[in-house]
Structure 1
Amino acid sequence: MSDFVGRNRLWARLNAAVAAQPDHLPTPIAVVDLAAFDANAADLARRAAGKPIRVASKSLRVPALISRALATPGFEGVLSYTLREALVLHDLGITDDLVVAYPCVDRGALTDLVASPAAAGAVTLMVDDVAHLDVIDSVRSSKAVQIRVAIDIDAGLKFGNQHVGPKRSPLYDTSAVVALARAVVARDGFRLVGVMTYEGQVAGVPDDVPTQRAKSLVVRRLKQASMTQLDVRRRAIAEALGPIADLEFWNAGGSGSVEATAADDAVTEIAAGSGLLVPGLFDHYQSFSPRPASYFGLRVSRKPSPTLATVHGGGLIASGPAGADRLPLPWAPPGLHLLGLEGAGEVQTPLTGHPAAMLAIGDLVWFRHAKSGELFEHVNDVHLVFGEEIVETVPSYRGLGHVF
């Protein structure tokens, strides 16, 4: 089935699912195609080749979807993006295996953690500096509750003075990692249980963009060089940490690097989240075929001309460096495009392309967000679709009253 036919069928299917609802759904109408979601989850597990996948909750932000992923064989635990979020997921009973991917300096959340032996036993905090330990110690009067911590290590590619990759941890050399590890195990009330090396320059960068052949070739070479260098570095760090602590996990990778990361013997688990929903930025990877699973619908509210259709809202712009790739994609019906001078607006978004002429006021247009998870910061309800039916409506974090 061609992409054109598939997207037209998607348009008809999602429209039918919405039309069958007894109440008029407010826009933006956020939907997740469960068949695609489940297929993506199974494919991620296959690509991980037996290593467990930790769900990156930042890429979902819907408790029901996190639980659905965890119910898939091959998925274990959650990689959360804030401590407060981890505490909520623990309270909801989603999982008792939570790793916070970023260092926490939220003293209120840390106070709640150290006051709860159950939460402290389920949550692992990320550190890359002794100062992070100091912040934790500043909120507790007793060391009776032991705090689980993991060390975040820079996984970027270095050649000469150049560094390619996310600017995260200051820890790169083995000696610096060992020094912090020794500081953790020497400090009362802390337990070193894991390590994280996120190679974002491999996992999060498209490498097979049809309109950027030369750039894609360079990206693929940089990815290969990065994984080769990382394999050596991780092995050396693992050997150095062995006598210091008995680690429970070594987390690494992402949806775009599952196979390559899983092949590294030092790594015990893979982080993945975007590969479950496959947003616009994940369309062009050599390592997997995209199955988009997440959409938002907007209604045509005006027709400025016979060849234009304007939908109400639409300005759901993704985080990261400002550029056209951060804009939402008009997806169904196929053939619609944003206007270069207006883009996606907060209150209205004009669309051009051959389908615009046939769209009438009140019709739905379906978009894909550029990044996974961020769509659900804009809606309270997420409608889970199977075939032509909304089978369940579930709350997002926002719908539960949470903003992390």
Structure 2
Amino acid sequence: MGSGPYACGMWTDPKKYWEALTAATADRPAPCAVVEAGAWAHNRGELVRRVADARSDAGMTGSLPIRVASKSIRVRGLVESLLRRDGFAGVLAFTLAEANWLADHGVDDVVVGYPTADAAAISRLCADERRASAITLMVDAVEQLDLIDAVLPAARRPELRVALEVDVSYNLPGMRVGVYRSPVRAAQDARELAEKVAARQGFRLVGLMAYEAQLAGVGDVPSGSFIEQARTRAIQVLQSRSRPQVAEIRGEAVAQVREIAELEFVNGGGTGSIESTAQDESVTEIAAGSGLFGPGLFDHYRAFLPAPAAAFALDVVRKPTPDMATLLGGGWIASGPPSSSRLPVLTWPPGLGYVDEEMAGEVQTPLTGAEDLRVGDRVWLRHAKAGELAERVNHLTVVDAESVAVIAELPTYRGEGHAFL
């Protein structure tokens, strides 16, 4: 296990921390989304440290850069601040439209993490040599190349950079652990696709990505009911079996593709799998982003525990009973399988609970355990996932809890007029 962020930092005293955030943002209307500067800096350092420590533990020399997963941030100012830091290099974007926009603002290395069918964004990419040189498209099938050529044939556009995605989910008879992404599932599949890309005019194969979602995005700390704890124990077993399989599939695919093209990068991992990904000799960079904000779903990992850097405050607007309080808004449900794990985490004050019949609602969220709350008080919540918080607000307020002060207001993608996905 890593040293963990709770060895230091103001957030180790929840009462002091959350009350400082309340005081610092008292003049700002709810919903008020914040990033606490000290916690953000700590999480940023922890990501870099975890990479270095994992490499050192395995007797490997040199470190690996972290490619910023912008999906998990969605605030250009924060993304750009990371790219100025040692240990971070390049962006993993989630749409081509976003990648074009970032490139137009000076980001010179953007990999689009998902294939695109956005004809307008493809046209915009092809209209500018500089843009085309900064952006790498993701492909996993020839049909995606055909679609690009249908928008603008090779003779009428710059050469486009592309990367292949290889599926490294863990498959057992009747069970799949991981996510459904690329149809490229074996080294031979990767080689065959690489040969087809290399043979196509107007495309240059420069990278490969293999994302181990079953390791990077699934918590492994048992909690909750007996059934939930048993499920988590099963996840631990499956993850331990999956790690060597991921390294084997990815390593074989990289070896095969390198016989076809000179790869500039091999991308893997995420916040939850840094330790194992950093020790994979075939990987040249690690994607990460969620660990910077420390959202609710990342409270459940054994290897690390990020500080709660991002949160949002809602106002109490009514008291339906003496022991209840109702918040205005609150239904900021995270994507993924519908379950209580996708609800915002009720963070401060302690002891609050959702009402089963309503849970987190579009316009109101009634809470139990609220005897001490009054109309006008604030409740702090943390979104279950990282970047989705930014889709709900026009800016994030950067707060220094130590000085109980607001130090910046940063527009989100939404605040800059963009809803990329």
Q: Could you tell me the TM-score, scaled by structure 2's length?
A: 0.91
Quick check: 1:44 aligned with 2:47?
Answer: yes
Q: 1:81 aligns with which of 71, 77, 94?
A: 94
Quick check: 1:362 aligned with 2:365?
Answer: no
1:117 positional shift: 0.5
Q: Is the 8 A contact 1:98 1:123 kept in 2?
A: yes
Partner of 1:373: 387
Q: 2:146 aligns with which of 134, 151, 174?
A: 134
Q: 1:363 to 1:117 in 2, by over 3 A?
A: same
Partner of 2:418: 402
What is the distance in 1 between the residues matched to 2:105 and 2:11? Answer: 41
Partner of 1:181: 194
Partner of 1:6: 13
- Could you list the per-position Cα deviations for residues 334-367 of structure 1 after superposition, in whole angstroms to 9, with x for gaps in the alignment? 11111111101111111112xx111111111110
Partner of 2:330: 314
Partner of 1:269: 285
Quick check: 1:281 aligned with 2:294?
Answer: no
Quick check: 1:258 aligned with 2:274?
Answer: yes
Quick check: 1:106 aligned with 2:125?
Answer: no
Q: Which amino acid aligns with 2:144?
A: H
Q: 1:106 to 1:226 in 2, by over 3 A?
A: same
Q: Is the 8 A contact 1:4 1:334 kept in 2?
A: no
Q: Which amino acid aligns with 2:411?
A: P
Partner of 1:190: 203
Partner of 1:210: 223
Q: Is the 8 A contact 2:354 2:367 kept in 1?
A: yes
Q: Is the 8 A contact 1:316 1:328 kept in 2?
A: yes
1:161 positional shift: 5.1
1:5 positional shift: 7.5
Partner of 2:60: none
Q: Which amino acid aligns with 2:340?
A: A
Aligned residues: 397
What is the distance in 1 between the residues matched to 2:258 and 2:232? Answer: 38
Q: Is the 8 A contact 1:7 1:334 kept in 2?
A: no
Q: Is the 8 A contact 2:137 2:163 kept in 1?
A: yes
What is the distance in 2 between the residues matched to 1:376 and 1:5? Answer: 25
Quick check: 1:389 aligned with 2:396?
Answer: no
1:217 positional shift: 2.1
What is the distance in 2 between the residues matched to 1:144 and 1:235? Answer: 33
Partner of 2:33: 30
Partner of 1:333: 349
What is the distance in 1 between the residues matched to 2:175 and 2:358? Answer: 37
Partner of 1:291: 307
What is the distance in 1 between the residues matched to 2:163 and 2:150? Answer: 19
What is the distance in 1 between the residues matched to 2:78 and 2:414? Answer: 14
Partner of 2:59: none
- Could you list the per-position Cα deviations for residues 165-199 of structure 1 after superposition, in whole angstroms to 9, with x for gaps in the alignment? 10000110222111110011111110000000011
Q: Is the 8 A contact 2:99 2:110 kept in 1?
A: yes
1:162 positional shift: 3.4
1:209 positional shift: 2.9
What is the distance in 2 between the residues matched to 1:130 and 1:143? Answer: 19
1:313 positional shift: 0.6
User: How large is the Cα RMSD of the aligned pairs?
Assistant: 1.6
Q: Secondary structure at the match of 2:99?
A: helix
What is the distance in 2 between the residues matched to 1:31 and 1:309? Answer: 22
What is the distance in 1 between the residues matched to 2:413 and 2:11? Answer: 34
Quick check: 1:57 aligned with 2:70?
Answer: yes
What is the distance in 1 between the residues matched to 2:148 and 2:83? Answer: 29
1:7 positional shift: 2.3
Q: Is the 8 A contact 2:11 2:308 kept in 1?
A: no
Q: Which amino acid aligns with 2:31?
A: P
Q: Is the 8 A contact 2:11 2:39 kept in 1?
A: no
What is the distance in 1 between the residues matched to 2:158 and 2:148? Answer: 12
1:238 positional shift: 1.9
What is the distance in 2 between the residues matched to 1:213 and 1:342? Answer: 26
Q: Secondary structure at the match of 1:357?
A: coil
Mind listing any 5+ residue stretches in structure 2 that lack a counterpart?
A: 1-5, 53-62
What is the distance in 1 between the residues matched to 2:160 and 2:12? Answer: 53
Q: Which amino acid aligns with 2:162?
A: V
Percent identity between the aligned chains?
Answer: 48
Q: Is the 8 A contact 2:397 2:409 kept in 1?
A: yes
What is the distance in 2 between the residues matched to 1:289 and 1:282? Answer: 7
What is the distance in 2 between the residues matched to 1:327 and 1:242? Answer: 43
Q: Is the 8 A contact 1:7 1:333 kept in 2?
A: no
Q: Secondary structure at the match of 1:304?
A: coil
Q: Secondary structure at the match of 1:305?
A: coil
Q: Is the 8 A contact 1:143 1:189 kept in 2?
A: no
Is 142-151 or 102-111 further displaced after alignment? 142-151
- Could you list the per-position Cα deviations for residues 283-324 of structure 1 after superposition, in whole angstroms to 9, with x for gaps in the alignment? 010111221111001011011111111111101000011111
1:400 positional shift: 0.6
Mind listing any 5+ residue stretches in structure 1 that lack a counterpart?
A: none
Q: Which amino acid aligns with 1:215?
A: R
Q: 1:247 aligns with which of 263, 266, 281?
A: 263
Q: Is the 8 A contact 1:300 1:363 kept in 2?
A: yes
What is the distance in 2 between the residues matched to 1:382 and 1:235? Answer: 40
Q: Is the 8 A contact 2:299 2:306 kept in 1?
A: yes
What is the distance in 1 between the residues matched to 2:167 and 2:91? Answer: 21
What is the distance in 2 between the residues matched to 1:10 and 1:338? Answer: 23
Q: 2:23 aligns with which of 13, 16, 19?
A: 16
1:70 positional shift: 2.0
